[in-house]
Amino acid sequence: MKTSQIELIHNPGNQPMSVAVFLSGSGTNFIALYEEQKRLEKVGEKNYGSIDAVFTNVPNCNGSRIAEEYGIPVADLSSKRYFDLLNKDPNDDETRDYYDAAVISAVEQICSPDIIVLAGYRRRLGSLFLDRYKNRVINLYPGDITKDYLVKGVDSWVQAIRAGEKVTKCTVFLQKENQRFGPALLQSKPISLKGYSQNDKDLVNEKIRVEGEWKILPYTVHNLIAKGCLGVDKEDNVYMDGVKLERAGLQFGG
């Protein structure tokens, strides 16, 4: 594979990479991203992700309020109200593109994002949006996306326990159209499920956030993408410094 066929997710320059964070709820992953940004700024890092805008489809959610407290510009457009007013099904593809076009306009009035980070954004993005930001939309899943037993509607760790797994992982991946999971970029260290049952929802979800999500999402954005380490070819294979990664992506070691 010629390196010319590998397109970097972000090609770093002499200034921070511009990031727009999309969220719909508590904003905990957004906070982890922001805190790592501030740490890197403090130590004088040159290439990192600067959160220049936050977008939410749930106005006044906790994540958007926190962004405002941080002094980050927030754009919002209620997806529920939008589709209700048009009397359209939220899964109507044509109307989805209209909504996404409005979202793009709102965000790009604030900044010109190099990447979009989905940090608990509960809206499926359509072709118009994903074409606009091709290979630049980053998502996070609190589970191992390489597992064949995963189904929608059930916590990934519950499915792992049911499948007899002793550990689980979190995965950062590229969002792709009409795919539940695009190519994996980075996976967390194994997170032990030993001693937990399906009834331990709050405990396990917190464990996954602390040991997985809050580590690998900031690392992927600030330490890998912002520094130009990750690229993608035309077949959606992912590369780290020009070396092709396996299906599970890079494995986190920090």
**How is the chain split into domains, by residue range?**
15-142+170-192+202-248
Residue-wise over 156-166: b if at least 16 C-beta within 10 A, else e?
bbbbbbeeebe
- 33: Cα separation from own chain's centroid: 11
- 217: Cα separation from own chain's centroid: 7
Strands 49-56 and 74-76: parallel
pLDDT of 178 = 87
Residue 231 host element (H or E): strand 230-232
- With a pLDDT cut of 70, the percent of the chain lying above it is 98
Mean pLDDT of 44-56: 97
Task: Return the DSSP state at 102.
Answer: H
- With a pLDDT cut of 90, the percent of the chain lying above it is 94
Q: What is the mean pLDDT of the chain?
A: 95
Place of tokens 């520094």: 227
| pLDDT higher at 47 or 178 | 47
Task: Return the DSSP state at 5.
Answer: G
How many residues would you count in the chain? Answer: 254
> What is the 3 state secondary structure string of 29-81?
HHHHHHHHHHHHHHCCCCCCEEEEEEEECCCCCHHHHHHHHHCCCEEECCHHH
Mean pLDDT of 217-240: 97
pLDDT tens digit string along 82-141?
A: 999 999 998 898 999 999 999 999 999 999 999 999 999 999 999 999 999 999 999 999
Indicate if the pLDDT at residue 170 is higher than 90. Answer: yes
Indicate if the pLDDT at residue 214 is higher than 70. Answer: yes
Indicate if the pLDDT at residue 202 is higher than 70. Answer: yes
pLDDT tens digit string along 59-73?
A: 999 999 999 999 999
pLDDT of 8 = 97
pLDDT band at 3 (very low <50, low <70, confident <90, very high): low
Q: Say which CATH topology domain 15-142+170-192+202-248 has.
A: Rossmann fold (3.40.50)
Indicate if the pLDDT at residue 146 is higher than 50. Answer: yes
220's tokens: 């992927």
pTM: 0.95
Indicate if the pLDDT at residue 2 is higher than 60. Answer: no
pLDDT of 238 = 97
Indicate if the pLDDT at residue 254 is higher than 70. Answer: no
Mean pLDDT of 141-170: 96
pLDDT of 1 = 45
pLDDT band at 152 (very low <50, low <70, confident <90, very high): very high
